Structure 1
Amino acid sequence: MTPTARDRAAAPLRHRPVTVHAWDDVVFAHWRHDPESLAPLVPRGTRPDVVDGSAWAGLSAYVFRETRVPPFPPSGRLGTMTEVTIEILTVDDAGRHGVVYRTVDTGNVPAIVAAHALLGVPYTFSHARAKRRGDVLTYRSVRHRGGLGPAAVVRSSRRSRSTRDGGPVPPRHAASVRVVAGEVDDSSLAVELTTRAGIHARYLTQTVFWQRQHDPLTLRSARLERLGGDLPDAVGMPGLLDRQPDSLLVLDGTTVRYAWGEVVS
């Protein structure tokens, strides 16, 4: 019997957890795509995952709280962070259904350094903010001037001095989303789009898989109030936010555990 997405997420971790997070106030926005259009954007050894007849790209936004690296207690420096991502749903030849992050924008500098050095996940230095009032969730992320990765922290301050001296102003890619959470959505499509077994990432010369585990998610439908920005332009996906999402969901919270999976290719 083919395991369901819920079964995949609940599978025991094959290795000791690398990080554990409380994952709160999550917004999932996904768009249908032709698989061929996304294929050049995923790492070797993976391909866009076809769900309900389409490949899918998305924006997700969430707050990580109580971050810890076992066996140590929660870290003050890594403890809470807001993240805004652009992602593609993927699958590899071993049948692992994951997600590829084209970018994870956050203002948490230690997380940026650790993710690049240890995980191969493309974190980016940004002003990322989250706000929740009742069922209204709002996220906004504006990149610091500079490029991807921890070096952007240094470049940002240098470029700020340059612009004061009359130099060129680099783009500051941004994204914003505001939604109103509604009723529970337990459809198979909602589960497949949000319950991924791990992360496919490019690390040095290899494609690797990081296993992700959590309890079954209680997802809610959502109504879009605002969506915009040019963040997808920075990762080779222009126009992603120009139309209404084909799926829009909210997750109030869960606990997520990440562990080493294995080399894909």
Structure 2
Amino acid sequence: MTQPSWTRAAAPLLHRPVTQHAWDDIVFAHWRHDPSALERLVPRGTRPDVVDGSAWVGLTAYVFRETRVPPFPSAGRLGRMTEVTLEVLTVDDQGRHGVTYRTVDTPNVPAIVAAHALLGVPYTFAHARSRRRGESIVHRSVRHPSRALHPVRWARSLRQERPADTVRPRHAASVRVTAGDVVDTALAAELTTRAGIHARHLAQTLFWQRQHPPLTIRTASLDRLEGDLPDAVGMPGLFDREPDSVLVVDGTTVRYAWGGIVR
């Protein structure tokens, strides 16, 4: 029997948690997509997850804080950052419903190094920030590809004179929403409650289990969505049309643990 999506992420962890985080002001924007068009974007052993008759790609943005690496205490503000992600909803042959990140843009360099080396999650350096005023939530990320690939060379170039018409390459994403009423539908739960992360690491596909309490999900109206970040991760034109779903979760606590090798 298929496990209901709203209880999926509350399932006990199979192994000890490797990290624990508080997420605040979470914005979910999702678009329906043709599954065949997404197959090249997901790792071996997984496929696009078809929910309500469609595959889905999403932008998720949130404030990430109070990082813990058990058994050590919270890192406090040292672990606080904004993350802006682009992802594909995926499922593997064992029926685990997760996400495959195309990018996780963040300004936290230690997180970038650890995620690449240990988890296989494609973190990328970006200037990311967030703001909340009442029910209005804004997340923005701007990255410089040359800095992400060659940080020392990029820093040196800033001290050199550049032609006035030279424009440094960058990719950005900005989303602003206004949160609304609580919603309790199967589709909202499927889009926001995923059991873990499918990630490529070296020659393997890994699954990292994600656990959190059942989410209180709210509808949201989209005030602004712009940027070219999708073009950089194989999703050109994604922001050219409005999302098919926009949702908000005010906050939750997320724990990650080893889930196993997919293939």
Q: What TM-score results when the alignment is normalised by the length of structure 2?
A: 0.96
Aligned residue identity for 2:223: E
In the alignment, structure 1 segments of 5+ residues that lack a partner are: none
Q: Which of the residues 232, 235, 240 maps onto 1:234?
A: 232
Q: Deviations over 1:103-150 (max 9, x none)?
A: 0000011111111111110000000010000000001100034265xx
In the alignment, structure 2 segments of 5+ residues that lack a partner are: none
* CA–CA separation in structure 1 for the residues paired with 2:153 and 2:188: 40
Q: 1:68 to 1:23 in 2, by over 3 A?
A: same
Partner of 1:61: 61
* CA–CA separation in structure 2 for the residues paired with 1:130 and 1:262: 33
* CA–CA separation in structure 1 for the residues paired with 2:190 and 2:157: 42
Partner of 2:258: 260
Percent identity reads 73
Q: What TM-score results when the alignment is normalised by the length of structure 1?
A: 0.95
Aligned residue identity for 1:229: G
The answer (yes or no) to whether the contact 2:65–2:76 under 8 Å persists in 1 is no
* CA–CA separation in structure 2 for the residues paired with 1:61 and 1:154: 28
Displacement of 1:8 in angstroms is 1.5
Q: Deviations over 1:171-194 (max 9, x none)?
A: 100000000000001110000001
Partner of 2:135: 135
* CA–CA separation in structure 1 for the residues paired with 2:157 and 2:78: 27
Structure 1 residues 94-243: aligned runs within 5 Å:
94-146=94-146, 148=148, 151-161=149-159, 164-166=161-163, 169-243=167-241
Q: 1:168 to 1:264 in 2, by over 3 A?
A: farther
Partner of 1:39: 39
* CA–CA separation in structure 2 for the residues paired with 1:77 and 1:181: 26
Q: Deviations over 1:38-66 (max 9, x none)?
A: 11100111000000000000111001110
* CA–CA separation in structure 1 for the residues paired with 2:130 and 2:155: 24
Aligned CA RMSD, in angstroms, stands at 1.5
Q: Secondary structure at the match of 1:10?
A: coil
